[in-house]
Every structure is written in structure tokens, then in C-alpha cells.
Amino acid sequence: MNSKLKWLRLSPPQILVLGFAAIIFIGAALLMLPISSRTGEPLGFIDALFTSTSATCVTGLVVVDTGTTFSSFGQIVIMLLIQIGGLGFMTMATLFALVLKRRISLKDRLVLQEAMNQSSMEGIVRLIRRVLLYSLVIEACGAVLLSIRWVFDMPIGKAIYYGVFHAVTMFNNAGFDLFGDFRSLTGYVYDPVVNVVVMFLIVSGGIGFIVLSDLIDFRKQRRLSLHSKVVLSMTGALLLLGFIVILIFEFTNPRTLGSLNWGGKFLGALFQSVTPRTAGANTIDITGLRQATQFFIVILMFIGASPGSTGGGIKTTTFTIMVGAVIAMMRGRDDIVMFRYRLAQERVLKALTIALLALLLVLAVSMILSTTEEGEFLEILFETTSAFGTVGLSMGLTPDLTVFGKILISITMFAGRLGPLTLAYALGPKKGKELYRHPEGKMIIG
């Protein structure tokens, strides 16, 4: 009874943090089993913990090669961790509750509200049902298409297995792959089927389940919510900008796009524009990119995906609000207006706070790692931002991290997956108002 009362006293963010931490340690224990390794030799605790954290936080940074280190059992464990981490452990718990026809309690609904970053509990269980349905349908379609494509390259059983694994990891915006030697999808830079299917999975998982629900209901309602309009417009703008910048910067680079024909240049630039949406897969060598391109990808990774999605970062809506605040200030306007809607001031303050705290976290971790790890600062900044944004793109530094570096990057991945959620809850509207206001002061800015 006492343990139950303690559980009830935990706030939704605390339950999320403890839940994800429990899944990570369970996953690490499973990955340490001899059956999880191809050689039968158990994986070390730090490497198993790092891999479990990366999978549960749907990141994709790896210290050991997934395709050559882990057995089929270990790979399936990683795939399940990705699925649970991408959809959220409370979403999976709700699935079992619905299957067992168990009642969803008020406490469960509060945690689900926090996990999905919703402003109210209204319709939260209905949204979870849709999340599960959309995820399974999209992953199934991706798995079928990828399996059919890979039947031409490998035995049918292996093709189906690869299709299912990569459909799950790409939809959940994790960067794990089974092709070995840390190659990711570089062998398919010219392949339109693999490129289009994987990009569709990445974008579908990255725009968020609320937007997916809005798009599916658009035929009936003939309208989109403000949230969906902002997410879709900013996502489209970032994808187009990323494509143009990467194509221009890398067009003559012989280590990346310079050696490809026009079709390869187009697909390569487009795919590398999509993958910083926190997916982590790549079709060209990230280490071969020019420094300007690498730094530009750092910015894209920091922005990340959208709220209520399988991705990380500060989120497209946060970035949009910041841009809107700058434009409003430059035009001398008091309000930020988007699609004829005025944004509340507390939303603006929340966006600025999330962005600033995220920036401070990335810079602090990068500074610490620059003193403990061997590598250029841009490499360290790239890996740190990739960890915070739960992206998974790497310049090759992660496998060579020290034990301290692995632990710090693991903490960064964990903070990147859960930090924005708990921070948004902590900064949410409080019940009641202050009974007084301090006198207004003036300060010179700029």
C-alpha cells in the first residue's frame, strides 16, 4: 500500500524519467547476455548501456557495429527498444491495457498527456489508439516495400528481416542499421526506392502523430490546426533549405556529391537534408562533408523534429516561435501572429527558455568532452548535438570515446529524449495567479 501511495505521488515527468531509465537498464542487461553477441562473448556494461540508451532514446549513435557485433537476438532487442522508446513506454503500456480491457486511470491519462506533450487530457486515449494504428500501418508498409527491394540483393528471409528492422528504426527516427562496418545506407545512394521509402518513414515519424491525425482527418474536416500548419510549413522550409545548401556546398566535393551523377547528387542532397530531422541514417560519408556543411547539419540537428513525434531536438515549433519573435520585434509589433492566430506570451517565453537551456547543455557537454576526448571541436560539437537531438549521425568519434565520454553522451541522449517534455511540463501554466505584480523596470538592451 505504501509503495502504491508513493507511486501515486510521483509527478508525470518523474514517472516518465523512471520508466525510460528502467527500460534502458533492462535493455542493457539483455544486451550483455552471451546470446546477444555473435561471438558468444558478453558485451561490456558501458557499451551495453550506451547501446540500450541510444536505442531507447531513438538516437542511433553506436560504439560497436550493430550488424557485426550483435546476434539476431541482440538485434531484435535493439529493435524492440527502438519501438518502445519511439512510441513511449506509456503508449506501449496503454496498448496492453486496451488489449486486456483494463481501465485507463486518471494518473495514466496525466502521464500520457505529458508523454504526448498535450495541453489537456481530452481525447488522449483516442489519440493513443491512433498513434498505435498509424505507427503499425506505416511501419508495415515500409517493411513490405523495403523487403521487396532487398529481395534482389539477399535471400528472401534476410530481406524480410532487414525490411522490418529498418522500417521500425527509420520510422522511429533512430539511425541503427544492419549493413555492417558503420556504412549505414551509403551503398544505396543511387537507389530511388530505398531513398524514397526511408525518407517517407523519417518524415512521417518526425512530423508528429498529431499532425498525422490531422492530415488523415483533413478529407472530412477540410481544415488543419494551427499546430499542423506550423509544423508542415517549417518542416517543408527546412527540408528545402537543407537540400539547396547541401547541394551547393557539396556539389564539387569529390568525397561526397562531386563523384556522383546528377541523379545521385539530387538524391544524396535530399536524403542528407531529411536525415538531420533526427533520423541518423546517411547515404554519403558524413566525415567527407565540408566543414560548412557539417556545421549546417549541426544547426538542423539542433532544431530537430516536431512535438509529439519520435524525434528530438528543440522542435520545429520552438524554432518557428523564435523566428516569429524576431520578425515581430523587427517590425515593431507586440504580438507574434501565425496564420492569423496570435500566440500567447507564455508560449514565447517557454520556447525561448527551452532553446536557451538546450543550447547551454550542448555547449557545456561539448566543452567538457573537448578536454577528455581526442578530436577536433567540430567533431565533438557534431556528436554532442547528434546525441541531444537524438539524431544518430556521426563523424566517427563515438566508437573512440573514453568511458567518461560514453557516459556523458548517454546522459545527453537521455536528456535530449526526455528533457524537453519534463521542461515543458515544469514551465506550463500554474494554477492560480500571483496576488501582486512588481513595478515595471527599464533596462537597455542591444
Residue 189, CA atoms < 13 Å, CB-side half-sphere: 22
Residue 383, CA atoms < 13 Å, CB-side half-sphere: 32
Cβ(209)–Cβ(134) below 8 Å? yes
Mean pLDDT lowest among 48-57, 69-78, 160-169, 433-442: 433-442
- If pLDDT is split at 50, 70 and 90, which confidence band does 426 have? very low
- Residue 353 and residue 37: Cα distance in Å, rounded? 43
Q: Between the CA of residue 241 and those of 145, 253, 300, 376, what are the distances in Å?
A: 28, 19, 10, 27
- Residue 196 and residue 91: Cα distance in Å, rounded? 28
- Residue 41 and residue 82: Cα distance in Å, rounded? 23
Percent of the chain with pLDDT over 70: 83
- If pLDDT is split at 50, 70 and 90, which confidence band does 183 have? confident
pLDDT tens, 55-66?
Answer: 998 888 999 999
Query: What per-residue confidence (pLDDT) applies to 29?
Result: 95
Cβ(4)–Cβ(21) below 8 Å? no
Nearest to 226 by CA among 321, 120, 124: 321
Pull the grid cell for residue 12: 508525470
* Long-range pairs of 369-374 with CB within 8 A, sequence gap ≥ 24: 369/405, 369/408, 369/409, 372/402, 372/404, 372/405, 372/408, 373/397, 373/400, 373/401, 373/402, 373/405, 374/400
Does the pLDDT at position 427 exceed 50? no
Question: Higher confidence at residue 430 or residue 134?
Answer: 134
- Residue 286 and residue 395: Cα distance in Å, rounded? 6
Give the mean pLDDT of 178-189.
87
Nearest to 92 by CA among 123, 115, 75: 115
pLDDT tens, 7-55?
Answer: 446 666 677 777 788 899 999 999 999 999 998 889 999 999 999 999 9
Tell me how far apart the 2 most distant CA atoms of the chain are, in Å: 74
pLDDT tens, 267-308?
Answer: 999 999 999 988 888 999 999 999 999 999 999 999 998 887
Does the pLDDT at position 94 exceed 70? no
Query: Chain-wide mean pLDDT for the chain?
Result: 84
- If pLDDT is split at 50, 70 and 90, which confidence band does 396 have? confident
